[in-house]
Chain A
Amino acid sequence: GNSVTQMEGPVTLSEEAFLTINCTYTATGYPSLFWYVQYPGEGLQLLLKATKADDKGSNKGFEATYRKETTSFHLEKGSVQVSDSAVYFCALSLYNFNKFYFGSGTKLNVKP
């Protein structure tokens, strides 16, 4: 089957700390991989994506590399800010079904 597993939160960090949120997937086929972010009271918005193996997605200082050998797409940021506090969702999509599978979300709290 198809699924996404990401680390449970909440993750609490101090400002300027290094962030890693782990995400692994199982998929029947060759998925595209995404990270979405949900700020309090808002809908999800795309943070970054990668469509094939070894691609690196990046945006706003966040990065994630599509690792086919380890079926992973870990999210990293070198120096987090208070404004990065949000819930982060890892997701995959399969073209044929145009269907997205989401992980359970990881809440990030960044303290000043």
Chain B
Amino acid sequence: DTAVSQTPKYLVTQMGNDKSIKCEQNLGHDTMYWYKQDSKKFLKIMFSYNNKELIINETVPNRFSPKSPDKAHLNLHINSLELGDSAVYFCASSQAEGELFFGEGSRLTVL
């Protein structure tokens, strides 16, 4: 069983569209994250949820809206997609002072 799974793995869409990426973890962790990795491999945290509560919200355009229906799921919805949103988005989870477990990533390409 995949510990942290995210879908879709690839997403190609036009500017201005709205899209969502879903993430699920079966590790029983309390904290989940969204990271963005740009073309230079730089990894930047976007959001963090602990037990469905938002605890980290970095400087991210409000076109990005995370939603955590329960502590095993953290979805990311993006409105009005822009070219600069093209990146690989990683979901991750952790349990208090523990390591991060990453999903395989969702590659978003905005045309």
Contacts and interface: CB of A to CB of B under 8 A. Distances in A.
Contact of B100 (A46, A51, A95, A97): A46
A91 B90 CA distance: 16
Given A93-B97, A98-B94, A43 B105 contact: yes
Contacts of B40: 104
B104 A43 contact: yes
Contacts of B42: 104-105
Given A87-B41, A105-B43, A98 B96 contact: yes
Interface stretch (B12-20, B48-56, B61-69, B73-81): B48-56
Contacts, number: 57
Task: Name the prevailing secondary structure of the A interface residues.
Answer: strand
A99 interface: yes
Interface residues of A, number: 24
B100 A100 contact: yes
Contacts of B99: 34, 46, 49
Interface of A: 32, 34, 36, 38, 42-46, 49, 51, 87, 89, 91, 93, 95, 97-100, 102, 104-105, 107
